[in-house]
């Protein structure tokens, strides 16, 4: 019971003490201290020049560098399928074989036509054979004999006609026989001249044209026959095979998809501010999370034209000798721009308001809002092009609670919290005391008098 009474008395005395601290005489000091603005704790980092290169990370999907849709150039029924999906093939390797009897027959006919055209051309080129010339000479001699005989017969008939021994009809018949013999003789003379002269340019050109036509017909027939075996045009892997034995196919029917995966390409896009960092032949780092692979890639192309999304298509080639990379996998492209000296601040120091960028700097324990123009960024640091000259203490923590002109206290993140709290209390005490509460030995009027600050408090009533 006594202990309880002691505790109750102590509590009452504590309440009286609080009431006494809030007396009117002390109220002026409390109001003056509350009027002083409370300093906001912040962390700062000095804006310094550093060697800086913009870091860029883009994403894209893998594609095979070479992918071919293999189609049939001939029509027919499939008799053999030589591969399966996933098989490695070489350029020229048979994929399917067609049954084409018509093409085979056409090939045989073209071969025979070519042999005939070659023979005719050789004859035209060499001229008339000697045997033919000899025959023509014999025919000419025979025609000469017939002409001579017809001439004598006409002479005899003419004499008899003049004597009136024969009729006029018999005389005319003899004249017609001589004319016919003369024409035949002249024709044989011209033929002998041609045979002895050799081939004309026109006959030789005609024979040569016939030979070339026969050769072209044979080449086409051979091509059609070779198309009965559909072959791989490139080295690669069979990606799809939509046909089977017994299927009838026509020209342009898709037989297989062949993918060359020894070299893959990443297709990505860069914005207007990023595309300038890429050049043909440039090496960049490629990361493919699906196979936990990080490798080097080479920029193969940078489009100078923006697409419908205002982005610039970029293709990057990657060697894939182990074939671990597959089409469709996601890849990320990591690169750093050309290093250069730049004035750098942490990214979190930038405050954006109404399409403008700002930072807070600390000057004489006050926060000052400074507009800045930013340059490149690597995700953690930002280049400042305008607004800072270097050496400023830029607020990196606590800036979101500041206003221009706010009182601040700079906190060292490496200093123990207890030391900082003591510093805060000391600074707070100095601000609360203020210069008006300090005695100036040169001005006695500022010293407290017995009638004000040093006046004795009234005694507490006894309870």
What would the pLDDT profile of 95-148 be if each residue is shown by its tens digit?
999 987 778 888 889 999 999 888 888 877 766 666 777 888 888 899 999 999
222 φψ region: left (φ > 0), alpha (ψ -120 to 50), beta (else): alpha
Mean pLDDT, the chain, whole residue set: 80
Q: Give CA angle at 77 (76, 79), nearest 5°.
A: 130
Query: Mean pLDDT throughout 429-449?
Result: 42
**Both tokens assigned to 154:** 């006409």
Q: How far apart are CA 430 and CA 13, in angstroms?
A: 30
User: Can you tell me whether residue 380 is helix, strand or coil?
Assistant: coil
Examine the pLDDT at 50 and tell me if it is beyond 70.
yes
- Residue 418 pLDDT: 52
Examine the pLDDT at 307 and tell me if it is beyond 50.
yes
Q: What is the pTM of this model?
A: 0.45
Q: Closest by alpha carbon to 198, among 122, 137, 125, 138?
A: 125
**261 and 327 in contact (C-beta within 8 Å)?**
yes
**Both tokens assigned to 27:** 């109220």
Which H or E element spans position 166?
none
Q: What domains appear along the chain, each with residue ranges and CATH number? A: 55-63+260-336 (2.40.30.170), 128-198 (1.10.287), 340-410 (2.40.420.20)
One DSSP character per residue, 256-292 reads EEEEEEEEEEEEEEE-TTTGGG--TT-EEEEEEGGGT
Query: Mean pLDDT throughout 372-382?
Result: 83
Please, which pLDDT band fits residue 8 given cuts at 50, 70 and 90? very low
Q: How far apart are CA 459 and CA 266, in angstroms?
A: 89
**Both tokens assigned to 455:** 């006046």
Residue 365 or 204, more confident = 365
**Both tokens assigned to 257:** 């998809």
- Residue 259 pLDDT: 92
- Residue 453 pLDDT: 37
- Residue 120 pLDDT: 82
- Residue 125 pLDDT: 73
- Residue 46 pLDDT: 92
Which H or E element spans position 438?
none
Examine the pLDDT at 11 and tell me if it is beyond 70.
no
- Residue 128 pLDDT: 65
Q: Closest by alpha carbon to 372, among 354, 364, 360?
A: 360
| Each residue's pLDDT tens digit, 214-240 | 999 999 888 888 889 999 999 999 999
| Each residue's pLDDT tens digit, 147-194 | 999 999 999 998 888 888 888 888 888 889 999 999 998 998 887 777
CB crowding 310-320: b at 16 or more within 10 Å, else e: ebbbbbbbbeb
- Residue 349 pLDDT: 93
**74 and 98 in contact (C-beta within 8 Å)?**
yes
- Residue 397 pLDDT: 93
Residue 3 or 41, more confident = 41
Of 303-317, 357-371, 429-443, the one with minimum mean pLDDT is 429-443
């Amino acid at each position: 019971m006594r202990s309880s009474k002691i505790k109750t008395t102590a509590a009452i005395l504590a309440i009286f003490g609080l009431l006494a601290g809030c007396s009117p005489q002390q109220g002026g000091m409390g109001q003056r201290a509350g009027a002083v603005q409370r300093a906001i704790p912040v962390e700062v980092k000095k804006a310094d020049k550093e060697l800086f290169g913009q870091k860029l990370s883009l994403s894209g999907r893998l594609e095979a560098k070479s992918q071919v849709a293999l189609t049939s150039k001939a029509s027919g029924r499939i008799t053999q399928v030589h591969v399966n999906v996933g098989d490695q093939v070489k350029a020229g390797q048979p994929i399917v074989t067609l049954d084409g009897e018509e093409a085979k027959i056409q090939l045989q006919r073209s071969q025979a036509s070519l042999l005939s055209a070659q023979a005719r051309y050789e004859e035209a080129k060499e001229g008339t054979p000697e045997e033919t010339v000899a025959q023509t000479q014999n025919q000419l001699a025979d025609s000469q004999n017939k002409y001579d005989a017809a001439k004598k017969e006409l002479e005899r008939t003419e004499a008899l006609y003049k004597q009136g021994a024969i009729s006029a009809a018999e005389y005319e018949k003899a004249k017609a026989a001589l004319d016919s013999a003369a024409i035949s003789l002249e024709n044989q003379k011209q033929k002998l001249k041609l045979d002895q002269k050799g081939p004309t340019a026109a006959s030789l050109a005609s024979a040569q044209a016939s030979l070339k036509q026969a050769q072209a017909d044979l080449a086409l027939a051979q091509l059609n026959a070779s198309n009965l075996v559909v072959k791989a045009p490139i080295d690669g892997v069979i990606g799809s095979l939509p046909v089977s034995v017994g299927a009838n196919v026509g020209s342009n029917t898709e037989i297989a998809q062949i993918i060359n995966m020894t070299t893959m390409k990443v297709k990505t896009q860069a914005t207007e501010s990023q595309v300038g960092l890429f050049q043909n032949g440039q090496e960049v780092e490629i990361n493919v999370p699906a196979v936990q692979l990080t490798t080097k890639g080479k920029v193969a192309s940078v489009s100078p034209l923006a697409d419908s999304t205002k982005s610039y298509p970029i293709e990057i080639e990657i060697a894939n000798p182990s074939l671990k990379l597959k089409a469709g996998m996601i890849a990320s492209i990591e690169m750093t721009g050309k290093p250069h000296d730049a004035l750098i601040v942490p990214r979190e120091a930038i405050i954006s308001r109404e399409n403008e960028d700002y930072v807070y700097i600390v000057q004489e324990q006050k926060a000052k809002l400074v507009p800045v123009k930013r340059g490149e960024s690597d995700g953690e640091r930002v280049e400042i092009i305008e607004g800072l000259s270097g050496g400023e203490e830029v607020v990196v923590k606590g800036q979101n609670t500041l206003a221009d002109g706010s009182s601040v206290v700079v906190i060292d993140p490496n200093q123990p919290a207890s030391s900082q709290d003591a510093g805060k209390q000391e600074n707070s005490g100095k601000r609360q005391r203020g210069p008006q509460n300090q005695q100036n030995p040169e001005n006695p009027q500022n010293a407290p008098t017995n009638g004000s600050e040093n006046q004795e408090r009234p005694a507490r009533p006894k309870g």
